[in-house]
Amino acid sequence: MKTKTLALDLGLVRVLQEGSPTYTSGWYVDPLTGQRLFYDQESQNFYTLAGGVFIPLGYMNPAPKQVTIGPGEKLKISISYKYSGPAVSGAIERFCVGVNGAFGFNEQLVGENTKSLASSTTPMTYTSQYTFTIPTSVGGDWDDIYCKISGGSPSVPQTLFGYENALLIVGKDPTISSFTIVDFAKV
């Protein structure tokens, strides 16, 4: 197995956009963290040893709010972006819920939409959404969300955005609260 050094400047992260280096499938080492990452040229993703998608920290942001949600409830994630350029067919919008940690983003729930983008010389706004039903197997640490758009013909640049601590998972474990002795008396 050949190990190559991953040349990423994590101060300003650009993932496989125009002008970015071309990577071939294989193992790389992040020179800043020493973390081993596998790059899959077909999906254009870096993966951690744990199997999660490596999301550079520049794309994860503090959530502006936290939604309390439990098993069986529905979570709708909505996105918006502007696009200009040639007509694109088959671009993939990816919606993920999981755990962002030291070894990348561990995707637990994944949903995708296929989108066609119209030819435009000025930026046009697109919106989309995906709704997840939270499974009974949800982990208490599945509190992060990220979305991306990539691919299509011709291919759009992979663009990502995420929120950390966006969800508060409740109702997973039996919980007793406000337990007290109401009264006691001699009878």
- CATH number of the CATH domain containing 87: 2.60.40.10
Q: Which residue range is the domain that position 37 belongs to?
A: 3-169
Residue 174 lies in a domain: no
Residue 20 lies in a domain: yes
Residue 69 lies in a domain: yes
Residue 179 lies in a domain: no
Q: Per residue in 130-184, pLDDT tens?
A: 999 999 999 999 999 999 999 999 999 888 899 999 999 998 877 788 999 999 9
pLDDT at 34 over 60: yes
Share of the chain above pLDDT 70, in %: 75
Residue 181 lies in a domain: no
Number of domains into which the chain is organized: 1
Q: Which residues contact 144 (CB under 8 A, 6 or more apart)?
A: 60, 97, 98, 99, 100, 105, 162, 163, 164, 165, 166, 167
Q: What is the pLDDT of residue 101?
A: 76
